[in-house]
Chains A and B, each alone.
Chain A
C-alpha cells in the first residue's frame, strides 16, 4: 500500500515552459486535492476533486489546470510556468467516512518546482 505518490520529486523549468505533475492514490479515496506550500504563506488549496469526473477551484487556481483521470489519479498542469509558481506542490486524498463524519487527508511527499 503506497498511499499517495507524486512524480516528479524535483523539477526545474524555464519561464513559459509547461509541465504536468502527477498524483496517484491506492486507497480508493473519493476526494483528491492539490496544494502549494510557500514560506510565510502556509499551505494553500489550488484545485480539488470531490469525486471522479468533478473538479473545483480552490484558493489559488490561476495559472493551473487539473484532470481527474480516474478515481486513482489527479494531475496538475502548468501551461506556461512563471517564477511565481516556484513552490512545493502537495497532492492529498481523503476518504468519505460513513455516517457523515469526516476523515483525515493523506498527503504525498511533494514536488519541489523551481521556475527560472
Chain B
C-alpha cells in the first residue's frame, strides 16, 4: 500500500530564500509523481507532474526532482516570495486510478 510522507509539516522563511520541500513514498513502482499547491479555503492546483522517465521538471522558479530508487521527491523553490505562502502537497499513484496524498507542508514566506 502506497504511503506518502512530507517533511517538514510547516516551514517559515524570509523572503528571497531558496528552499526545499521533501516528499517520500513507500512504493517506488510509480509512473509519475505530482506536486500541488493549496491556498487557504481553496482547492488544489497542480504545479508539476514528473513522469517516471524524467528526473526533474521545472516551471518558473519551481523545480521538482524524482528519485524512484530512493523513494523521494523534492520541490525546490527559488527566491521565495510572500505569494508563495500556501500548503504544498505531493501525490503518488496508489493504483491505476488512485492518487495517495501526503499531508502537506505549510509554507510561510515572511516579507
Contacts and interface: CB of A to CB of B under 8 A. Distances in A.
Given A101-B51, A102-B32, A104-B34, A42 B101 contact: yes
Interface string A20-39: 00000000000101000000
A79 interface: no
B86 interface: no
24 contacts: A4-B43, A33-B99, A40-B103, A41-B103, A42-B104, A44-B101, A45-B98, A45-B99, A50-B96, A56-B97, A90-B43, A90-B44, A101-B31, A101-B32, A102-B93, A104-B34, A104-B49, A105-B44, A105-B46, A107-B36, A107-B43, A108-B43, A109-B43, A110-B42
Interface string B84-100: 00000101010011110
Interface in A37-87: 40-45, 48, 50, 56, 58
A102 B46 contact: no
Interface string B56-93: 00000000000000000000000000000000010101
Interface size class of A (residues with CB under 8 A): 20 to 34
Mostly, the A contact residues are strand
Interface of A: 4, 31, 33, 40-45, 48, 50, 56, 58, 90, 92, 101-110
Given A45-B98, A48-B98, A102 B43 contact: no
Contacts, number: 53
B45 interface: yes
Contacts of B49: 102-104
A59 B19 CA distance: 33
Interface residues of B, number: 23
Nearest to A4: B43
A106 B101 contact: no
B103 A102 contact: no
Interface in B16-58: 31-32, 34, 36, 41-46, 49, 51
The list of the 9 closest CB pairs from A to B, nearest first, reads A107-B43, A42-B103, A104-B46, A43-B101, A107-B44, A109-B43, A104-B49, A102-B32, A50-B97
